Structure formats: C-alpha cells, structure tokens
Amino acid sequence: MSAAAILFDLDETLFNRSASVRRFVECQFASLDLGHFKSLNELCDRFIELDARGSVPKNEVYRVIDEEIGEHRNPPWSDLFDDYEANAWRHAFAFEGMADLIVWLRNKGFLIGIVSNGQTHIQLRNLLALGLDRLVDTYLFSEQERCRKPDPEIFCRAAERLSVLPSDCIFVGDSPQADMAGSRSLGMKTIWFSNGAAWPTDFDWQPDATIYSLVDVRSALEQMGEA
C-alpha cells in the first residue's frame, strides 16, 4: 500500500445532501399552503432543482419558491430560510455504509480527512450530525480556510495537517472540477463518485477509479492496489 491518507469531499460524497435537504423541505412544507404547486412532491422537486446541488444561495431558493407558490398565508420566506439555517442539519443522513467504510479504512492504516466547500457553521453541523468528528483525523471548510476547491492550496493544507505529502493521498469526491481536477493537480490519485452523472466530455483525462455507491471505495482501492 503506497497511499497514506484518504481525503473525502463532504456534500454528495459522504453526506447525502440532496436527499437530506429534500427530507427537511418535506417536513417544513407539510402543513403549509402549497399554492400553485399541485403536490408537496412537486414543490420538493422544484426546490431541489433550484438548489442546483448547493450552488445557489438558499435564501434565493426560498425567495423563488415563495414567488411560485403565489398568494398564501405561510410565514415570510425569510422565516422559512432562517428555519432551514437553524434546523436542516437535524435531517442530515449519510450515504449507506459510510461509517463502516471509514472504520475499515482506519483499520487498514489510512489517515482520513474531509475537504469541503461551504459555510463553516452549516458544514460543521452536518459533519457532527453524521458523527464524522469521531471518525476522521482532520476536516477543512472553505469559508474557514479562505480558499475553495479546486484551488490546490486547500488540498495542500489537508495533506499538511495529516503530515503526509499530497502525492500520498487519494481523493474521493463527486465534482469532476472541484474535487477531481483540484486534487489531481497535486499528484493525488482520484476516485470519482459519479452519483449518476456523466464524466465531462471536455476533460481529456479520466479519474483513477469511478464508483457508483460509496461502499465501492473499498473495491476501487483494492483494484488500484492500495488496499
């Protein structure tokens, strides 16, 4: 085994973010006026579409949803957004097999880190809700670090905090640009969690391995000769 550390993205890699957000929105709007939406399911679909995997500010998502509901007696959209900020983490859940996978990796001798773009207070709550603080050796959030993936700097810092070289790390993530290209630029090996997406046609390279569920990390490492 040549690699010393496994670094993970958080959202849509360890943390089933879209499903968690959907579960919160279902609970939040269950007793509210849906207005022009025909069903709660339709509203949730639209919310997830507007959210665009977390790339759109959540207050903007709530504002648009409020407009599309039309006339209603619901609380102001800003109150619903505040509720999301305060309580969405309570609905957080991981991809199947996350804890068992990390325990297996640790038993194999790997150091474990998390590198995530996002606001520190949001990502830290999600991390704690998943129990990851007890499972990993370090975690870095872009807001706190003042740099974002794919900037090589944040990957370098993760390796430094684990006292290993970047070339001794393997990065697991779902974003071809932020996760795969960013880590690859430092010589890290890459495992892409496709989550049903297609690899970009304008990339003239491939990840070292592609997985279709989180538990596939184990077989990917074995095939790469790293476990």
Helix count and strand count (H, E) for the chain? 10, 6
Residues (pLDDT < 70) of the chain are 1
SS3 label, residue 108 = coil
CATH number for region 5-16+94-223 = 3.40.50.1000
CA-wise closest residue to 186 among 166, 163, 160: 166
What gap in Å lies between CA 70 and CA 68, rounded to an integer? 5
What gap in Å lies between CA 142 and CA 146, rounded to an integer? 6
pLDDT of residue 1: 54
Helix (H) or strand (E) holding 66: helix 58-69
Conformation bin of residue 169: beta by default, left when phi > 0, alpha when psi is -120 to 50 = beta
Burial class from Cβ neighbours inside 10 Å (0-12, 13-18, 19+) for residue 188 reads buried
State which amino acid sits at residue 18.
S
pLDDT of residue 227: 84
State which amino acid sits at residue 144.
Q
- Tell me the whole-structure pTM to 2 decimals: 0.94
What are the structure tokens assigned to 70, written together? 């039309």
For 40-84, the pLDDT digits (tens) are: 999 999 999 999 988 899 999 999 999 999 999 999 999 999 999
CA-wise closest residue to 18 among 75, 67, 66, 61: 61
What gap in Å lies between CA 118 and CA 11, rounded to an integer? 9
What are the structure tokens assigned to 152, written together? 């090589």
Q: Break the chain into its structural domains and give their ranges.
A: 5-16+94-223, 17-91
Question: Could you tell me which residues come within 8 angstroms of residue 171 by beta carbon, excluding any fewer than 6 positions away?
Answer: 6, 7, 8, 9, 115, 155, 179, 180, 183, 184, 188, 189, 190, 191
Angle at CA of residue 225, ends 224 and 227, nearest 5°: 110
Helix (H) or strand (E) holding 189: strand 189-193
